[in-house]
């Protein structure tokens, strides 16, 4: 049930009416849980059982941590290991175990497809991180273990987030579920722009640009210029697709009276790789920072005397981005993509450029942005490439362009991508420079709504990040 | 925010009213737009197919989409089978087109075929709206008459949600969306290219030469992606619920009244090349379909979805066959159909 489907809209409207008809927040939470399980189970009902059992396990482990403090670490590691094991097994088992995959193929079961379609429940990558975060926070004492199972289960399975995040922390979302909620008109005012933009970015921009991107990346041997056009297209597609999901998720959450995490802060305006990750998929980046980067760095700093400085500086970003790559997908290209960012962060740090670096002067600023944007585009090319071999053959062997026709085709496609990019750039400009011009902003939202009406119902591909 | 929302509502109302006034005039659409097909059907059907059928007088007429059109060699099939066949595969078609071909063309041939073979995959047979809108409409219109009440009911009106029905009738911006999108797409594609003196033909040739056969048509490609999802959508897996709202009962009635036997062949595809990989929902649907067809007089069912003779290497994508696949599948199909012309039958 996609956010942009009629089924979901009908489901949500009925749900919303029931939700606000119930006065007690505990009953609201129960309804939220029931609605989330229905929503999650829409694709494959048995996935709900996995979600429920793993949620119950964390809940009791967290309570166990509070009761038997001496064994808190043990409980934490059991919980983390089980959650992580579930995620890694679902994602990577067949990737590493080629023998088993081959054996299954012999019996007629295609391991990869079997895993994708049957074993790997959608959204696992997102709710597992939520659950691990909760366990670690309880163990560290930064969050008290909840005694309210319904609220906790509703937090884990919260339907606007369950498939593609944001990965909200318990401090932010679970605490809101403890409190009573009454309808306020502000909820609607916070939600409507997010909903308009969410539908617009998904239906108009992402779904249209995906056609160009898919065609280019499906070519056996595209020229370098086509690869560049495809890379630029994917750079636009992925932000439109993923940020639209976040916008819709946050919009629906606001309508339920819940304020959830922002996930994007104009990431393509970043000047350094660290800044990019502070602006892109913020809920994942902060999760990785808090539970991998900082602990690892602290552990290394404790051995400052014995370890070389470059190792202390470079290992945390490399390891964090490696995990990010593994989280994003199965295969070497995702690992390379993750490490690519790790190396970039290390290199920028090595030349003295930290995350908050900002050069003086407009030309320097523009050049810094251009370099970083080019690096981002190249990163997305690795991410979207059919395989690393395919990418290498295009970069090392293919010509810049095959002939005049291909040059013309590339320019046409670039202009089309440029047009759809302009629609998003306009929004960024409005946000930056026309905050107070309400009429101008209203005109933009009207244009977005009209375009959504024109583009609606002609396509409905899935959200990219729901595949993770 | 409050102020911004009221301005948004006022401006949106103005824009929608203006569009509602301008679009019906511009596109010559009635207001309110009656529910039904996106445009009026042409009064007559395409004649060339009937002419060819009249001339060939085939014993077997094959219906299907591009999988059949590109995947079966009609001459080789006739030779191996020892009976005249006619490949009436229409690229980008679904059960709506197959119903129209049977109703408006096949049964009007002076010598009717004895068998009509329908090559399908997954849930196509019970999704009447599959491939009926957007650019598919043109292909469908080739075989439709001016008035096609069952088609309009099943393919266009039934699948609409209540909100869609209202939008279709009273919101010209929505009912004219295909035309508006096409206009926008071609403006983007051709106008920009004209800046460096690349004509419409030049753009088409450039895209064709870069992407081969697959034309880079955003709308068509989006529909292809949508199609793939539609066949496996949970709501389309309920056979019992969908059978009476499909073209199947009508197709069987037409065939029976004209002494034509229907042979439904489920074709292999790479989404589920092995039975073990099929979801329980799909398996249940196909079980129900098979049971239903078994109860129908003059109807046969052949399941080639997991046939070991059709190798995975014969496929160039999820559904289409390679040149080798075409040769091999034609032979397999002929061998399957031989049963129907054997003296024991």
DSSP states of B227-289 as a string? Answer: HHHHTT-GGGS-HHHHGGGSSHHHHHHHHHHTT-EEEEEEPP-TTSSSGGGS-HHHHHHHHHH
Which residues in chain A have Cβ-Cβ distances shorter than 8 Å to B171? 453
C-alpha span between B240 and A243 (Å, rounded)? 39
Q: Under an 8 A CB cutoff, do A108 and B274 touch?
A: yes
Contact yes or no for B34/B288 (Cβ under 8 A): no
How many degrees, rounded to 5, is the angle at CA A313 between CA A319 and CA A272? Answer: 80
In the block, residue with structure tokens 């404790």: A302
How many degrees, rounded to 5, is the angle at CA A422 between CA A416 and CA A423? Answer: 105
- pLDDT on residue A119: 44
C-alpha span between A378 and A266 (Å, rounded)? 18
- pLDDT on residue B119: 97
In the block, residue with structure tokens 């085939």: B58
Cα torsion at B172, B175, B179, B180 (round to 10°)? 50
Q: Under an 8 A CB cutoff, do B174 and A406 touch?
A: no
Helix axes B2-27, A185-199, angle to 10 degrees: 40
Measure CB to CB from residue A405 to each of B19, B209, B273 and give the nearest one: B209
User: How distant, in Å, are the alpha carbons of A62, A127, A170, B267 from that of A139?
Assistant: 8, 19, 13, 55
| Beta bridge partners of residue B60, listed in sequence order | B85, B115
Q: Tell me the residues of chain A between 404 and 443 that have a Cβ less than 8 Å away from chain B.
A: 405-406, 408-413, 415-416, 419, 438-439, 441-443
Residue A25 designated active-site: no
**ipTM of the complex model:** 0.85
Higher pLDDT, residue B162 or A57:
A57
3-class secondary structure, B300: strand
A214 phi/psi in degrees, rounded to 5: -60, -40
Q: Provide the pLDDT confidence category of residue B228 given band limits of 50, 70 and 90.
A: low
Output the DSSP codes for A238-283. Answer: HHHHHHHHHHHHHHHHHHTT-------S-GGG-SSHHHHHHHSSHH
- pLDDT on residue A462: 41
- pLDDT on residue B19: 95
Does pLDDT of B151 surpass 70?
A: yes
Give percent of chain B above pLDDT 70: 93
- Kindly report, residue by residue over B110-128, the tens digit of the pLDDT: 999 999 999 999 999 999 9
C-alpha span between B140 and B66 (Å, rounded)? 14
Helix axes A124-140, A72-96, angle to 10 degrees: 160
Does pLDDT of B221 surpass 70?
A: no
Residue B254 CB neighbour total at 10 angstroms: 18
> Which one from A25, A47, A281, A328 is the annotated catalytic residue?
A328
3-class secondary structure, B63: strand
| Beta bridge partners of residue B266, listed in sequence order | B120, B303
Interface test with B, best of A186, A189, A438, A456 (most B CBs within 10 A): A438
Residue A236 CB neighbour total at 10 angstroms: 28
Interface test with B, best of A38, A457, A462 (most B CBs within 10 A): A457
Residue A390 CB neighbour total at 10 angstroms: 17
- pLDDT on residue A35: 95
| CA-based nearest residue in chain B for residue A193 | B5
- Kindly report, residue by residue over B128-137, the tens digit of the pLDDT: 999 888 778 8
- pLDDT on residue B224: 57
- pLDDT on residue B15: 97
- pLDDT on residue B218: 52
User: How distant, in Å, are the alpha carbons of A68, B81, B223, B288 from that of B123?
Assistant: 55, 28, 17, 11
Q: Provide the pLDDT confidence category of residue B55 given band limits of 50, 70 and 90.
A: very high
Q: Under an 8 A CB cutoff, do B7 and A439 touch?
A: yes
Which residues in chain B have Cβ-Cβ distances shorter than 8 Å to A459? 222-223, 225-226
- pLDDT-flagged residues of chain A (< 50): 105-119, 459-468
Does pLDDT of B274 surpass 90?
A: no
C-alpha span between A62 and A83 (Å, rounded)? 13
Report which of B115, B147, B112 is spatially closest to residue B298, judged by C-alpha positions. B115
Measure CB to CB from residue A408 to each of B173, B198, B276 and give the nearest one: B198
pTM value is: 0.82
Q: Under an 8 A CB cutoff, do B234 and A415 touch?
A: no
Q: Under an 8 A CB cutoff, do B188 and A438 touch?
A: no
């Amino acid at each position: 049930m996609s956010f942009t489907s009629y089924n979901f809209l009908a489901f949500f409207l009925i749900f919303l009416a029931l939700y606000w008809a119930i006065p007690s927040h505990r009953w609201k939470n129960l309804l939220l849980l029931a609605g989330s399980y229905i929503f999650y189970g829409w694709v494959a009902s048995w996935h709900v059982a996995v979600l429920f059992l793993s949620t119950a396990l964390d809940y009791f482990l967290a309570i166990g941590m509070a009761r038997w403090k001496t064994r808190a670490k043990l409980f934490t590691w059991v919980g983390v290991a089980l959650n992580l094991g579930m995620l890694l097994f679902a994602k990577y088992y067949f990737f590493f175990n080629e023998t088993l995959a081959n054996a299954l193929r012999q019996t007629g079961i295609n391991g990869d497809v079997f895993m994708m379609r049957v074993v790997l429940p959608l959204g696992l990558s997102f709710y597992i991180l939520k659950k691990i975060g909760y366990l670690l926070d309880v163990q560290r004492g930064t969050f008290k273990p909840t005694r309210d199972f319904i609220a906790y289960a509703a937090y884990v399975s919260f339907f606007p987030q369950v498939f593609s995040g944001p990965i909200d922390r318990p401090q932010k979302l679970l605490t809101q579920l403890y409190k009573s909620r009454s309808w306020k008109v502000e909820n609607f005012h916070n939600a409507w722009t997010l909903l308009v933009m969410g539908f617009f970015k998904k239906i108009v921009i992402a779904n249209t640009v995906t056609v160009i991107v898919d065609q280019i990346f499906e070519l056996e041997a595209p020229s370098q210029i086509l690869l560049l056009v495809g890379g630029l297209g994917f750079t636009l597609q992925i932000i439109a697709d993923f940020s639209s999901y976040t916008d819709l998720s946050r919009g629906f959450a606001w309508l339920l009276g819940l304020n959830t995490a922002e996930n994007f802060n104009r990431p393509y305006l970043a000047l350094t790789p660290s800044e990019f990750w502070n602006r892109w998929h913020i809920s994942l980046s902060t999760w990785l920072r808090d539970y991998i980067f900082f602990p690892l760095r602290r552990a290394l700093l404790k051995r400052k005397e014995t370890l070389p400085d470059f190792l202390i500086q470079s290992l945390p970003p490399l390891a964090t981005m490696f995990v990010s790559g593994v989280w994003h997908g199965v295969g070497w290209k995702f690992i390379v993509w993750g490490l690519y960012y790790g190396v970039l962060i290390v290199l920028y740090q090595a030349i003295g450029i930290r995350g908050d670096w900002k050069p003086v002067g407009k030309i320097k600023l523009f050049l810094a942005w251009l370099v970083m944007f080019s690096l981002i585009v190249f990163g997305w090319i690795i991410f979207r490439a059919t395989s690393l071999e395919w990418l290498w053959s295009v970069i090392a062997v293919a010509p810049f362009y095959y002939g005049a026709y291909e040059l013309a085709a590339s320019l046409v496609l670039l202009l089309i991508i440029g047009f759809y990019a302009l629609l998003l750039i306009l929004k960024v400009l409005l946000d930056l420079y026309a905050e107070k011009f309400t009429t101008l902003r209203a005109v933009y939202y009207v244009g977005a709504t009209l375009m959504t009406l024109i583009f609606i119902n002609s396509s409905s591909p899935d959200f990219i990040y729901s595949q993770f | 925010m409050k102020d911004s929302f009221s301005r948004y509502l006022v401006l949106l109302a103005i824009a929608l009213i203006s569009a509602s006034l301008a679009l019906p005039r511009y596109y010559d659409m009635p207001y309110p737009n009656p529910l039904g097909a996106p445009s009026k059907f042409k009064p007559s059907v395409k004649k060339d197919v009937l002419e060819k059928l009249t001339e060939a007088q085939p014993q077997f007429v094959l219906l299907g989409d591009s999988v059949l059109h590109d995947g079966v060699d009609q001459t080789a099939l006739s030779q191996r089978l020892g009976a005249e066949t006619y490949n009436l595969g229409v690229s980008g078609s679904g059960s709506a087109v197959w119903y129209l071909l049977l109703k408006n063309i096949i049964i009007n041939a002076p010598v009717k075929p004895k068998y009509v073979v329908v090559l399908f995959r997954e849930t196509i047979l019970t999704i009447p709206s599959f491939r009926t809108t957007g650019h598919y409409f043109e292909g469908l219109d080739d075989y439709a008459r001016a008035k096609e009440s069952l088609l309009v009911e099943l393919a266009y009106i039934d699948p609409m949600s209540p909100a869609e029905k209202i939008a279709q009738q009273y919101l010209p911006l929505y009912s004219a969306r295909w035309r508006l999108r096409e206009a926008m797409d071609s403006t983007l594609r051709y106008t920009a290219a004209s800046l460096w003196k690349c004509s419409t033909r030049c753009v088409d040739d450039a895209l064709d030469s870069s992407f081969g056969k697959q034309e880079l048509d955003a709308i068509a490609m989006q529909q292809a992606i949508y199609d793939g999802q539609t066949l496996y959508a949970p709501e389309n897996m309920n056979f019992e619920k969908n059978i009476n709202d499909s073209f199947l009962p009508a197709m069987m009635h037409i065939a029976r009244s004209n002494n034509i036997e229907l042979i439904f062949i489920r074709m292999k595809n790479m989404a589920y090349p092995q039975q073990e990989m099929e979801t329980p929902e799909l398996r249940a649907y196909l079980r129900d379909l098979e049971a239903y067809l078994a109860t129908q007089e003059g109807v046969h069912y052949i399941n080639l979805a997991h046939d070991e003779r059709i190798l995975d290497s014969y496929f160039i994508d999820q559904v289409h066959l390679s040149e080798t696949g075409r040769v091999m599948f034609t032979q397999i199909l002929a061998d399957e159909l031989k049963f129907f012309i054997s003296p024991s039958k």
